[in-house]
């Protein structure tokens, strides 16, 4: 058995450790919906739970930093990259099956697939997935939702791999969640399987709700430009997009990052934006909204990688750094 030794981490050894893809000094922009950010020292895609468990065990033993990535649709990857291992679940972690009113999905399965299969089976409760990119794993970790619906309440059971390589089953009581947050976020655990308990409902009703969700998105969100969804959480009783618009920042731009004209809570990468450009736009929005409305906007997107925390902690005041 191969082990990465503490203090002497040579990521090249990873090639012998797992069967999936292993790349070094690898650009991460193509793996995020923002399409920006630097390189990861190593990028791996394990294909089996066994390989993933062995990978986490070795990295933890060696004290090597690692981060999990799903569809990369809720993250802001640092321009400076990441001197650690980015782990994205390989194809072996995709697929689902339905058992009565339960959907058992591997964590790398795309939300669009989960929604399609639930619709087919006449299972309601996840219609709000319509138009949300990313994986079911990322959605459970971030408690994804739309309007007043969240994924959290549908979670029945989870399987994780701990940083020490143990495979553990969690009951729903072991998983806590809040607004775009959960006990699994940046915990070091890898989520590998999700069981959702949904409701048998007439197909026509499900179809109607899905169509409504799609319709709202089509009219209110940028269609083709690169983004990572809502940048800020909505403050109690208000909307971050509405506040941003009210202080006159629709279309506001720093470098290649611009506040969307379609929805002011979306910041667009025009093509050559840096992650620092996005942060600069966020900072200006927060400043102006605070000055004019005395509301402190809380980021929803997650800064991943080797950020200089001192430089961004005023913007990401709700996080400890990752």
Ligand X SMILES: Cc1cc2nc3c(=O)[nH]c(=O)nc-3n(C[C@H](O)[C@H](O)[C@H](O)COP(=O)(O)OP(=O)(O)OC[C@H]3O[C@@H](n4cnc5c(N)ncnc54)[C@H](O)[C@@H]3O)c2cc1C
Residue 5 carries which DSSP code?
P
Site string (256-275) toward ligand X, x via CB under 6 A: --------------------
Catalytic residue among 230, 240, 260, 322: 230
Angle at 71 between CA 238 and CA 280, to 5 degrees: 50
Catalytic residue among 180, 182, 260, 284: 180
Longest CA span, the chain: 61
Q: Which of 109, 227, 240, 269 binds ligand X (CB under 6 A)?
A: 227
φ/ψ of 57, rounded to 5, equals -60, -45
Site string (179-198) toward ligand X, x via CB under 6 A: -x----xx---xx-------
Nearest in space to 305 (alpha carbons), one of 56, 38, 62: 38
Annotation marks residue 180 as catalytic:
yes
> How far, in Å, are 59, 230, 262, 284 from residue 252 at the CA level?
42, 16, 13, 9
Looking at 185-235, list the stretches that DSSP marks H as alpha helix, in order from N- to C-terminal side.
Answer: 203-220
Residues numbered 116 to 175 that lie near ligand X (CB under 6 A) are 132-135, 137-139, 141-142, 144-146
> How far, in Å, are 254, 298, 315 from residue 289 at the CA level?
17, 11, 13
Nearer to ligand X by Cβ, of 135 and 274: the residue is 135
User: In the complex, what is the shortest distance from the CB of residue 73 to ligand X, in angstroms, rounded to a whole number?
Assistant: 3
User: In the complex, what is the shortest distance from the CB of residue 91 to ligand X, in angstroms, rounded to a whole number?
Assistant: 14
Question: Is residue 240 part of the contact set for ligand X (CB under 6 A)?
Answer: no
Annotation marks residue 13 as catalytic:
no
Question: Is residue 33 part of the contact set for ligand X (CB under 6 A)?
Answer: yes
List, by residue number, the catalytic residues: 180, 230, 300
């Amino acid at each position: 058995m191969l082990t990465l030794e503490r203090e002497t981490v040579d990521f090249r050894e990873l090639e012998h450790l797992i069967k999936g893809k292993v790349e070094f000094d690898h650009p991460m922009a193509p793996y995020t919906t923002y399409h920006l950010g630097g390189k990861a020292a190593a990028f791996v895609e394990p294909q089996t739970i066994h390989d993933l468990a062995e990978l986490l065990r070795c990295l933890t033993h060696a004290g090597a930093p690692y981060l999990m990535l799903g569809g990369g649709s809720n993250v802001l990857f640092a321009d400076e990259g990441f001197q650690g291992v980015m782990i994205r679940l390989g194809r072996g972690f995709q697929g689902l099956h339905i058992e009565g009113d339960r959907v058992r999905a591997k964590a790398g399965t795309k939300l669009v697939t989960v929604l399609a299969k639930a619709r087919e089976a006449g299972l309601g409760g996840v219609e709000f997935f319509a138009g949300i990119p990313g994986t079911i794993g990322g959605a459970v970790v971030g408690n994804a939702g739309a309007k007043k619906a969240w994924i959290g309440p549908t979670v029945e059971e989870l399987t994780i791999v701990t940083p020490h390589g143990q495979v553990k089953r969690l009951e729903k009581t072991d998983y806590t969640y809040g607004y775009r947050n959960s006990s699994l976020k940046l915990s070091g655990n890898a989520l590998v399987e999700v069981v959702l308990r949904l409701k048998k409902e007439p197909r026509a009703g499900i179809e109607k709700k899905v169509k409504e969700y799609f319709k709202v998105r089509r009219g209110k969100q940028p269609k083709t430009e690169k983004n990572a969804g809502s940048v800020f959480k909505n403050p109690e009783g208000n909307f971050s997009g509405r506040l941003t618009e009210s202080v006159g920042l629709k279309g506001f731009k720093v470098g290649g990052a611009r506040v969307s004209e379609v929805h002011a809570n979306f910041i667009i990468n025009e093509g050559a934006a840096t992650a620092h450009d996005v942060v600069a736009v966020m900072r200006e929005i927060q400043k102006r909204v605070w000055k004019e409305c005395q509301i402190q906007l809380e980021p929803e997107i997650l800064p991943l990688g080797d950020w200089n925390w001192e430089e961004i902690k005023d913007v990401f005041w709700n996080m400890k750094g990752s």
